[in-house]
Amino acid sequence: MPRPAAVRNLSLLAAMAAVLSTAAAAPPTGAETGTAEGTRAGGPYATAAATVPPAKSPVATGYGGAVASVDPDASAAGIEILRRGGNAVDAAVATAAALGVTEPYSAGIGGGGYFVYYDAKRRTVRTVDGRETAPRTADETLFLDEDGEPLPFGEAVTSGLSVGTPGTAATWDTALGAWGTKSLRDVLRPAQRIARHGFTVDETFRQQTAANEERFRDFPASAELFLPGGEPPVVGSTLRNPDLARTYGELARGGGRALYRGELARDITDTVRRPPVRPGAGRDPRPGDLTTADLREYRTKRQAPSRTEYRGFGVYGMAPSSSGGTTVGEALNILENTDLAAADEQRYLHRLIESSRLSFADRGRWLGDPAFEDVPTRELLSQRFADSRECLIRDDAVLSSPVAPGDPRDPAACRTGGAAAPTTYEGESTTHLTTADRWGNVVAYTLTIEQTGGSGITVPGRGFLLNNELTDFSFAPAAPGVHDPNLPGPGKRPRSSMSPTIVLDADRRPVVALGSPGGSTIITTVLQTLTNHLDRGMPLAEAIAAPRVSQRNTATTQMEPGLWDDPVRQRLEALGHRFARNPEIGAVTGIRLLPDGRWLAAAEKERRGGGSAMVVDERKRGAGGQRVGG
């Protein structure tokens, strides 16, 4: 079918932008751009302590590269690296390290994530799977109690049992070693400075601290760090983390591998195996079985991305162990035959909801760690399979959840392929960042420690929280008698919904890159933002800000207030949809390449207190990257 006008225009703009923005020279090598390994705090990265954060804006447009994250200090760290000659990969690691300081309840070296990289010179997309892994002793009984019943979720979260081998530090090593131009020592300097001198506490940070106050009080290292004076920090106060500054110093000297051996590895495993709860606490956290061998043997996976064609664009994301790339891709394929640009709000939302419902049904049946499960990735992303699912959607009726999955290996029109199973819970505390550089390279990077505050357990003397990522496993089969590909196993990666995504045009040049936090709502958030932008012609900032819905094969669809209070809700309910009000779904950051060669960085205007978009230079830069007139 003909592509909507909005899509044709976007494709044309992307092609024009590619011509204008392609640099003749390749990025410099690390030897050409890196600062000396011996540079200390008194060198070029040293600044006075700052108690006022950089200006926070959800949108920025300019030249030389861009960074979008949830936090202004973190975005500024990435921009600093770009201005010092680093590329998008270097900036992404610097931004992530800073988020480990300023957004420690969502990310940090105690967790893991997924890194998607576009190489402008080769016009290829590559990824790093830095997902946490279960201990070698883990099996399907990991989260069952002594009677064989699933543990209460809260009890499992706040324990050593929930902690997987962290993957973030290894991801940084892998990405920098493969595609970066600077050393880990160089890119950690901004984050070390923030940790040492402190950052300004905002309302979001205080609220998240208060929500964890009861847990943090039970672990002395967490209480000392996050409850100064015994209370959540006051908005406007400065919070310092000298322990993390020292830990980053160890990584700077020894590389990310320093986390996986030696004293730091022993500190992590000791904390997991004997959670350091305060005397007299009314909590007896279960110990985990993580060992130094688990850390020593951890490896990231460099792998090809998931890929689907959508209205002439190539949409690239994370292949399993994440379910993000396949589930977003399948939903887009289901929507391919609907002219969303011409659809009114009701039909657009109805089709969006139903495509999400079906793709989540298939996710639950087929997605798990491919090292343990036979995941039919190629078949899940085939248009033939999507068409067999799309024919179940009617414009005058609503599917009932849980919908049964289809069989991508043997797709037949309107036929399901097994018993229905409910969607299991995922924590919503994650963070996403997006970077681009003057050479046209792009990174979309989503990282997490799972719940807000992770396990709640800070490694004593180290300044970072441990993840509770293993609670992303199913504690027991989601439905009796139905195969669940996401049960625990030795060294297994739990299924994730993280969906860092890069969209390329027909010439394999970047159009837009984005991602979001939000547990399983990440998938629906990325899907809705992409369709708002690519199909409905919304500018990226407006596509991000638009009110959201989230359907994950559940009886009700979550809906934000902007749609809840709109007459469209009543029209959808008349079709049979059921909604539950959710004040906030996701928190996107993204980057778009504009026709004149500028980068547009965009983040949330309000969700999670608003995000921070920055560019290297708002004015055009001359030859060699020097500022015109500067």
H/E stretch holding 434: strand 429-437
Question: Is 430 labeled as catalytic in the residue annotation?
Answer: yes
Distance of CA 190 to the CA centre of its chain: 21
Catalytic residue among 430, 448, 452, 521: 430
3-class SS letters over 66-132: EEEECCHHHHHHHHHHHHCCCCHHHHHHHHHHHHHHHCCCCCCCCCEEEEEEEECCCCEEEEEEECC
Nearest to 362 by CA among 421, 428, 424: 421
Contact assessment for residue 90 and residue 81, using Cβ atoms and an 8 Å cutoff: yes
Q: Do 522 and 499 touch, CB atoms closer than 8 A?
A: yes
From residue 540, alpha-carbon distances to 54, 161, 218 in Å are 23, 41, 43
Residue 450: its H or E element: strand 442-450
Bridge partners of 501? 514
| Strands (DSSP E) found in 457-553 | 501-504, 510-515, 549-550
CA angle at residue 438 from 436 to 442, to 5 degrees?
Answer: 25
Q: For the CA atoms of 274, 277, 279, 283, what is the dihedral angle to 10 degrees? A: -110
Please, are residues 459 and 224 in contact by the beta-carbon 8 Å criterion? no
CA distance 306 to 324: 9
- Calpha distance 318→328 (Å, rounded): 10
Torsion, Cα of 298, 300, 301, 306 (10° steps): 130
Task: Yes or no: say if 10 and 511 are a contact pair by the CB < 8 Å rule.
Answer: yes
Instruction: Name the 3-class secondary structure at 577.
Output: coil
Burial 358-379, CB ≥16 within 10 A → b, else e? bbbbbbbbbbbbbebbebbbeb
Q: Which residues are catalytic?
A: 430
